[in-house]
Amino acid sequence: MKILAIILLIYCSSISNSFSQEQLTTDSLTLVIENTKSKDTSLASAYLSLSEILYVSNFDTLKYLCEKTIIICETQLSKINKLDSKSKLSFQKSLAGAYNNIGYYYDVQGETKRALAFYHKSLEIESKSKNKIGIATSLNNIGAIYKSKGNITQSLDYFHRSLKIVEEIGDKSIISKTLNNIGFIYDNQGNSDKALDYFFKSLNLKKEIGNKDGIATSLNNIGCVYEVQDNIKKALEYYGKSLKIRKEIDDKLGEALTLSNIAFIYVKQHNSITALEYYYKSLNISKQIGDKEGEASSLNNIGGIELEQGKLKSANTKIELAFIIAKQLGYPDLISDVSSNYSKKAVLRNNYKTAYEMYYLHIKMRDSINNEETQKASAQQQAKYEYEKQKALDKLKSEKILTVREFENEKKVNIVKEEKEKQMVITFAIGSVLLLVIIFLIIIFNRLRITKRQKYIIVKQKRIVEKTHNEIKDSIIYAKRLQDAILPSFSEIDKYISDNFILFQPKDVVSGDFYWFEHKNNFSIIASADCTGHGVPGAMVSVVCSNALNRTVNEFGIIEPSKILDKTRELVVDTFAKSGEDVKDGMDIALCAFTKNKVIFSGANNPLWIIRNLEYLTTQQLESKSTIVVGDKALIEFKANKQPIGLYINMNPFTQIEIELLKGDVLYFFTDGFADQFGGKKGKKYKYKPFKKLLIENSDLHMNIQKEILTKTLKVWMGKNEQVDDICIIGVKPNI
């Protein structure tokens, strides 16, 4: 599926004029917020401006800061009799901008009903204020929503209304974006010549105003049209230009779109290896920024390639996940694409009823976007727009127009009249205020004497509480920095164990669980560890235990797993013994050393699980109570020693198991957090047996997909329950 970029406008054009371009920095805006009274219009504008800077790096701040703006504006606008016209206009402007930006937030999240509600609120305020740029922005964004829902008639109506306004006021930025969105519709209807015309008009305007983000969008869309025309050389040329700019400006959403488009070209050229490479890059970026539409599209495209490669199980998982997301979003073009692949995979699984239902859904969604009635509507809207434009020009010529001198004279008269009216209002207001001041001055003076002492005590106590809170907060943040420093980097692990995943999810800011890795003498040693407690106490124990593991391998040169655990226990016990108390804190651990085609395992309370093809299992493994069989796969459990790394009644030397690895083996070692998590309908623990089955059912999938499934399963299981313990799961698929 080729992807064009339809433009949704963040409300940058609505930033209050009280801030210059140079002032729009995080530090300066924060300073304004900290030093401005709540009734000041500057505070509302500062929150709005800050939201439009921070949303690029932290998208969730957009909604939070705009809600702050809304609270200030609505509170002040409710006191309309106390506001002058300038303040009222400023609050209305900020309120409309905040509504628009929250609409954009919900739009990106796929919650189109909420997005439409906020866009319409913004449009209503802008219409009352007669702010033409704001009206055009809201109309454009509403049109984009209707486009995504497949309602082309309404979409074109809103786009043309927006275009008409911005052409009147000559705003090239919004004109270029609206031209792009209309071109997007014509491309969907197969009218590539008309689409190219609009896209090139949009591109030229964006170059005039130096809008790099917009230039990248137009280049991408032009590439899409050339691709439809089978001009592959031109398509790749424009995609390449777009991708280069998007990387320069760190436009992650645009980068994901263009990567997906390049992948589609390689699909058409039957180069599935390169296509998958680009689709996975696009998928990773989409998941990183929370772009659900991009995630579903990439999953569907990867699943389609895997269907052709005969990887039915892996393809099935991706296509079903894509279908769930597409239905949640409700976008007809996305549902059409996904249901097409869903139908194909149902046929391959001999499920002809589902195949028919999905194919019917594919046709229904496709026709809802591109039918004769829709194309007629496009032509009618274009004709209507051209007619109204010409009518306005004719009217301008026929009506009597004031000369420049007449206009200036009338303007001066109006200014003098307005100044007199303002002066009268100001005089009356000052008199009223002075009267009120005299009446309340005595009352306020008496109250001040009584409350001065109380206020001093309250402020002093507040400062003590705030200082204590900040000290605790700073300590926890510093503890997290320390703990992050002991964790190995994913890139270092990937260097020696290429196919792996690590799911690390602390209960609090810091964690009692940790993962550990070292590579020595051709041995890649990796472990998941669970220290006593969680939060700050658990994190302190984890630092002691991680340091002991590092000293054992790097200082004492021990690489044999059982001997590593023996020496680590010795160092941990010695460290806690220095306190003079009988400290029993320590850790449970599963530790594996990989070399060539074997793994050596040693554990303290935590086992190793290996999922293996059923044909390779021994009779003893098949008869073991801990073995679980699902289809042609089985999970074998290799038990750990029943003793911790720490002070214990019966401290025996640790043992180890040497295991020959076979083709298709997948290894898992973990802490107890996942299985012990409460949730589900009855609020019970997840437990180990369902955990085993979940791993077996997904063991054939790519390791990153497995991690995603574990994360989503945990989230669904938890529901509204709090996380009860730290979680650390490591999966390894050896290259045999």
Task: Report d(CA 62, CA 299) in Å as an integer.
Answer: 27
CATH 3.60.40.10 residue ranges of the chain are: 492-732
Tell me if 613 sits within 8 A of 664, measured CB to CB. yes
Neighbours of 114 (CB within 10 A): 15
What's the pLDDT score for residue 674? 95
Q: Is the pTM of this model over 0.85?
A: no
pLDDT at 589 over 60: yes
Q: Which residues contact 717 (CB under 8 A, 6 or more apart)?
A: 677, 679, 680, 686
Residues in the chain, total: 736
Distances (CA, A) of 94 to 88, 414, 473, 487: 10, 28, 33, 45
Mean pLDDT of 238-263: 88
- Residues 9-170, CATH architecture: Alpha Horseshoe (1.25)
What's the pLDDT score for residue 407? 39
Task: Report d(CA 103, CA 124) in Å as an integer.
Answer: 14
Three-class DSSP category at 671: coil
Percent of the chain scoring above 70 in pLDDT: 78
- Residue with the larger pLDDT of the pair 634 and 104: 634
Note the pLDDT tens digit of each residue in 42-98.
788 888 887 777 766 667 778 888 888 888 888 888 876 677 778 888 888 888 989
Q: Could you tell me the pLDDT band of residue 322, with boundaries at 50, 70 and 90?
A: confident
Mean pLDDT of 130-141: 87
What's the pLDDT score for residue 427? 61
Note the pLDDT tens digit of each residue in 140-175.
889 888 877 778 788 888 888 888 887 788 878 778
Task: Report d(CA 708, CA 569) in Å as an integer.
Answer: 34
What's the pLDDT score for residue 540? 83
Mean pLDDT of 310-326: 86
Lowest mean pLDDT among 91-95, 222-226, 330-334: 330-334
What's the pLDDT score for residue 29? 63
Q: Hey, which CATH number is domain 492-732, 3.30.70.20, 3.30.70.580, 3.40.50.1820, 3.60.40.10?
A: 3.60.40.10
Mean pLDDT of 229-257: 88
Task: Report d(CA 632, CA 696) in Å as an integer.
Answer: 10
End-to-end CA distance of the chain: 35
pLDDT at 24 over 50: no
Note the pLDDT tens digit of each residue in 677-706.
999 988 899 999 999 999 999 999 999 999
Q: Hey, which CATH number is domain 172-250, 1.25.40.10, 1.10.1040.10, 3.40.50.1820, 3.40.50.460?
A: 1.25.40.10
Task: Report d(CA 293, CA 144) in Å as an integer.
Answer: 14
Exposure of 467 by Cβ count < 10 A (0-12 exposed, 13-18 middle, 19+ buried)?
A: exposed
Instruction: Name the residue with tokens 């003893």.
Output: 620
Lowest mean pLDDT among 79-88, 100-109, 274-283, 631-640: 79-88
The amino acid that residue 317 corresponds to is: T
Lowest mean pLDDT among 365-369, 403-407, 620-624: 403-407
Dihedral in degrees, nearest 10, Cα atoms 571, 518, 671, 714: 150
Question: In what helix (H) or strand (E) does residue 636 lie, and over which residues does it extend?
Answer: strand 633-638
What's the pLDDT score for residue 661? 94
User: In angstroms, what is the C-alpha Rg of the chain?
Assistant: 32
What's the pLDDT score for residue 695? 95
Instruction: Name the residue with tokens 């999970």.
Output: 635
Mean pLDDT of 33-40: 54
Note the pLDDT tens digit of each residue in 640-652.
999 999 888 889 9
What's the pLDDT score for residue 363? 77
Average pLDDT, the chain: 80
Note the pLDDT tens digit of each residue in 172-215.
877 887 788 778 777 777 788 888 888 898 888 888 888 888 88
CATH 1.25.40.10 residue ranges of the chain are: 9-170, 172-250
**H-helix segments, 149-291:** 152-169, 172-188, 192-209, 212-228, 232-248, 252-268, 272-289
Q: Which residues contact 110 (CB under 8 A, 6 or more apart)?
A: 292, 293, 328, 329, 330
Q: Which of 116-120, 341-345, 353-357, 369-373 has the highest mean pLDDT?
A: 116-120
HSE at residue 395, side-chain half, CA atoms within 13 A, is 6
What's the pLDDT score for residue 14? 32
Three-class DSSP category at 659: strand
- Residue with the larger pLDDT of the pair 678 and 466: 678
Mean pLDDT of 105-116: 84
What's the pLDDT score for residue 405? 45
What's the pLDDT score for residue 579? 62
Exposure of 543 by Cβ count < 10 A (0-12 exposed, 13-18 middle, 19+ buried)?
A: middle
Q: Which of 354-358, 460-464, 500-504, 578-582 has the highest mean pLDDT?
A: 500-504
What's the pLDDT score for residue 153? 80
Three-class DSSP category at 731: strand
pLDDT at 404 over 50: no
Q: Could you tell me the pLDDT band of residue 17, with boundaries at 50, 70 and 90?
A: very low
Task: Report d(CA 599, CA 589) in Å as an integer.
Answer: 16
What's the pLDDT score for residue 633? 92
Instruction: Name the residue with tokens 């008496």.
Output: 446
What's the pLDDT score for residue 209? 86
Q: Identify which of 528, 532, 570, 577 has the alpha carbon closest to the alpha carbon of residue 552.
A: 570
Phi-psi region of 83 (alpha: psi -120 to 50; beta: other; left: phi over 0): beta
Mean pLDDT of 287-314: 86
